[in-house]
Structure 1
């Protein structure tokens, strides 16, 4: 029975390391109710088995991170995403051309934009397109290409070719993770290359992410950020992570989900 409990605990450790990116000895000890020395022995065994890579104070998962589908993400942090989207919509001036990335927060922004007039909205996101399709008073442009089913987004050379012929006043981007020192994190290089192109075509760039995504790096593909951009998040964002962005000279807007105010 003790051996079974140990095996279950180690499985939990791998799952926690995979979901959080990094699991500290202290955190694992507190959550699993065992001593730090027990955790260290577990980590040593999991490292030997090739399931973890030891780091200072903890471990990094070597198992592939599962990419959540857009459908799974639509219900996460709904109030925060809605508030972030509302702030983003307030930045848009009538007559502008805006570009929407794929994602649940940009889909929330698309819903708000259906109430606008005199606006051109381009998107690579199928979910945003479905929202905007009935808005007859908007000019809606789909940047087609190969459909990436999990993210419900269009990618590839056809999408990139269309972008190279366009420019935008504002681009609103999503991310699987975002770090001050590396930029936007996504599942693969095809996505990050496209995001870099999208941002290069806009005068103003906004990255819209709820607080849990700050400092996260679930994958190994990165989009390099333009010289100037704005991070828009909610008040659940860790203060130390927010400070890292501000220390880099990046403008950070913190929106309160209970209202549309920003700080």
Structure 2
């Protein structure tokens, strides 16, 4: 197993259970305890975990409350979506990336790509990108939310207007054949709309739990989506609507 893949699985396991022992991780991944200890040291240096004697846990202040819960949901699907999506972008491009559990997994994969400009309202995403030193991270200011560790509001939207990006990479709360993409939070939907307005193309990252869900605040119609990266094929009605809207559907490798 590659070092990056092993460390991604370590982070996912700790996020799902809030902490894990060296012994458990070694057995889970078929690696030596010394290898796991080295991995945990490197992950701590990147700010992804906090070590304690015999294991590691989430960093203090990271992903508490509802956001931490979302980080532990559909982890395998989100990681696979993140890996697939990260291969769709190339050095020299500028990306808007909004706050979300799937986009945070995406940022961890994207951190290995050199020469990108990442504009985000997520402090965690900015930290992940800047920690590797391969790309530039630009953190948008605004009203700060502790749970999601993000900035939102009129100041954030105004700063987005000062940028132009090749792509907007967004996670959404719901994706529907009629209503399109939507979010559960008004201010998050406003940030997403602003990013769409200043980007050349829009890529949505969504696991299958978002298909047919209902969220109150619209982000964009299906015609506004250039590409959907998902873990499973959308239901027939949504698939037809995406095709009619001209959206490319990218299903992760190994999915049916």
TM-score by structure 2 length? 0.68
Matched, 1:133 2:133: no
Matched, 1:191 2:188: yes
Tell whether the 8 Å contact from 2:143 to 2:151 is kept in structure 1 after alignment: yes
* Whole-angstrom distance in 2 between the partners of 1:232 and 1:165: 27
- Sort the Cα spacing of 1:151 and 1:179 in 2 relative to 1 into closer, same or farther, 3 A: farther
| Structure 2 gap ranges (5+) | 1-64
The correspondence for 1:145, drawn from 130, 133, 142, is: 142
Identify the structure with bigger relative contact order (alpha carbons < 8 Å, sequence gap 6+). Answer: 1
What is the root-mean-square deviation of aligned Cα atoms in Å?
A: 2.1
Matched, 1:117 2:114: yes
Query: Which moves more between the two structures, 233-242 or 205-214?
Result: 233-242
Tell whether the 8 Å contact from 2:129 to 2:136 is kept in structure 1 after alignment: no
* Whole-angstrom distance in 2 between the partners of 1:148 and 1:182: 27
CA shift for structure 1 position 228: 4.8
| Structure 1 gap ranges (5+) | 1-67
The correspondence for 2:70, drawn from 73, 88, 108, is: 73
CA shift for structure 1 position 115: 1.4
Pairwise mapping of residues 152-191 of structure 1 onto structure 2 (< 5 A)? 152-191=149-188
1:168-222 Cα offsets, whole Å, 9 max, x none, are: 11111011112232222222332222211101111111010001101111x3211
Equivalent residue, structure 1, for 2:97? 100
CA shift for structure 1 position 237: 4.0
TM-score by structure 1 length? 0.66
CA shift for structure 1 position 156: 0.7
Pairwise mapping of residues 210-229 of structure 1 onto structure 2 (< 5 A)? 210-217=207-214, 219-225=215-221, 227-229=224-226
1:48-102 Cα offsets, whole Å, 9 max, x none, are: xxxxxxxxxxxxxxxxxxxx82211111111111111112111111111111111
* Pairs aligned (count): 191
Tell whether the 8 Å contact from 1:184 to 1:192 is kept in structure 2 after alignment: no
* Whole-angstrom distance in 1 between the partners of 2:234 and 2:180: 16
- Sort the Cα spacing of 1:94 and 1:133 in 2 relative to 1 into closer, same or farther, 3 A: closer
Tell whether the 8 Å contact from 2:78 to 2:207 is kept in structure 1 after alignment: yes
